[in-house]
A and B are shown apart, each in its own frame.
Chain A
Amino acid sequence: MKISASAAVVAPRERLFEALNNGDVLQRCIPGCEELTAEGSDTYRVRLKLGVAGLTGQYAGKVTYQHLQPPESFTLAFEGKGKTGFVRGTAAVRIADDQGTARVDCDADVQVGGAIAAVGSRLMAAVARKLTQDFFRCVAREIGADPDAASAADAAGQGPLDRG
């Protein structure tokens, strides 16, 4: 499943880059993050209660930052396991400067296995997009930018079979 998301945050991109690499910010902003512990300099272990409304599952996993190019780009490699299946993938994050507004583009390639993948979820792309929006709004608040000016859009998910 490919998920792409974009967000604009009214702040210098250095600050956004820093926030996106700050464990404390991540812990506060990753939706449903119950625990985040650093493991070495570029890896975090996370425990998440992930989902929207009643559709929620618990996941435990690992996130690794790769190819750090401050303040322009980095890659996230992530893997997680929960009762509903597993998720792993990579996300390429690019931050462009547009006259004082930092624009983030995130392209993720996510593999999903287990029960979720067996049937797919009609709602998965919508849920992923909402969680991404929540995350960027929170990061914008953290760095003192107007959260309403942060916007995310365009998560085009391509799931496997859909049984509604």
Chain B
Amino acid sequence: MYPAPFEYHRPATLDETIALLVQHGDEAKLLAGGHSLIPAMKLRLAVPRFIVDIGRVADLSYIRERGDGFAIGAMTTHYAVESSRMLRERCPLLPETAAHIGDVQVRNRGTIGGSLAHADPASDWPAAILALDAELEIAGPKGRRTVRAEAFFVDLLQTALASDEVLCEIRVPASSRSVAYEKTEQKASGFALAGVAVVVGNLGEVRVGITGVGPKAYRANAVESALRGQAAPTAEAIARAARHAANGVDALGDIHATPEFRVHLAEINTQRALTRAFNAR
């Protein structure tokens, strides 16, 4: 399938990018790695009139130390995150999650920022970003703003980004090795039926991010509070807490998994991820 005709722009700077978005509003789409947008355009599920390719915008692809954590440029590929020695040592959840995304081709072209901005309900990054309590830096016509991961995911395919804004940077704290990402994937596509990311802090505090289950990825607050104050929970305590993995979530159902099955997978993967993260302490 060919995409519908569109006008192609390739700005060199962020300012030019934002000016194009301001000019064309929601008729424009940003092209990052193109591994969600191009297939959607070929199916004509997306028919943008203007494509703004940010592949040549300077300085959007990097992994840097920043304070006691890391700043990752939005155009950094999944593979660059997966293979970063610095992240493997000091923020291992990100490389672990990256290794679960799609296949080699997707990881070499797809970008962390593009995936987050698309907000596919079954994509992997949101789980890790939520569990790390990341901050997302957004640039727009009025300057820059920072959004916490929890406020970034709004609804199915919808984020806090306005149509004239660009996600520039993802900031995460450094972590110990007490992290885990456990996922059950749809075999053909690699997308998550339920993916659970867990971060256990130095004091035993837990953050859990879950993707694939509901219309948007979410923090499993009920699981976190069930484990509050337990620096070394027993296997039974973990199993009990994991049963709250999909509390209050309106689970999706499709040909691959019923809502009940997705909830079940969320609970199982939460139990596995918690067990592995706590065991790594």
Contacts and interface: CB of A to CB of B under 8 A. Distances in A.
A154 B253 contact: yes
Interface string B252-271: 11111011000000000000
Interface in A57-100: 57-58, 83-84
Interface stretch (A7-15, A26-34, A118-126): A118-126
Contact of A54 (B4, B29, B190): B29
Interface in A116-153: 116, 118-119, 121-123, 125-127, 129-130, 153
Given A56-B47, A115-B43, A158-B255, A122 B189 contact: yes
B47 A83 contact: yes
A153 B46 CA distance: 26
Question: Which of B45, B46, B121, B250 has the most CB atoms of chain A within a 10 A radius of its CB?
Answer: B45
Contact of B43 (A121, A125, A155, A158): A121
B203 interface: no
B259 A119 contact: no
Contacts of A154: 253, 259
Given A54-B40, A123-B120, A126-B121, A157 B255 contact: yes
B37 interface: yes
B157 A164 contact: no
Contacts of B186: 122, 162, 164
Given A53-B158, A156-B258, A159-B254, A164 B189 contact: yes
Chain B interface extent, by class: 20 to 34
B253 A54 contact: no
Contacts of A52: 156-158
Nearest to A156: B253
Contacts of B252: 125-126, 129
Nearest to B122: A122
B124 to A, nearest CB: 12
B119 interface: yes
Interface string B175-211: 0000000000010111100000000000000000000
Contacts, number: 96
Contacts of A123: 120-121, 156-157
Q: Which of B43, B120, B158 has the most CB of A within 10 A?
A: B43
Contact of A164 (B29, B190, B215): B190
- The interface centre, meaning the residue of A58, A123, A125, A156 with most chain B CB atoms within 10 A of its CB, is A123
B228 interface: no
A141 to B, nearest CB: 18
Contacts of A127: 156-157
Given A154-B259, A156-B253, A163-B188, A116 B45 contact: yes
Interface string B12-44: 000000000000000001000000010010011
Given A52-B157, A162-B186, A126 B254 contact: yes
A51 B157 CA distance: 10
A158 B43 CA distance: 18
Nearest to B4: A83
B28 to A, nearest CB: 10
A62 B255 CA distance: 28
B65 interface: no
B158 A115 contact: no
A58 B46 CA distance: 10
B233 interface: no
B11 interface: no
A85 to B, nearest CB: 8
Contacts of B45: 51, 55, 57, 84, 116, 121
B78 to A, nearest CB: 15
Contacts of A125: 252-255
Given A55-B157, A126-B156, A159 B44 contact: no
18 contacts: A52-B158, A53-B158, A54-B46, A54-B157, A55-B157, A83-B4, A84-B43, A84-B45, A115-B1, A118-B43, A121-B43, A125-B253, A156-B253, A156-B254, A157-B253, A157-B255, A162-B188, A164-B190
Interface of A: 51-58, 83-84, 115-116, 118-119, 121-123, 125-127, 129-130, 153-159, 162-164
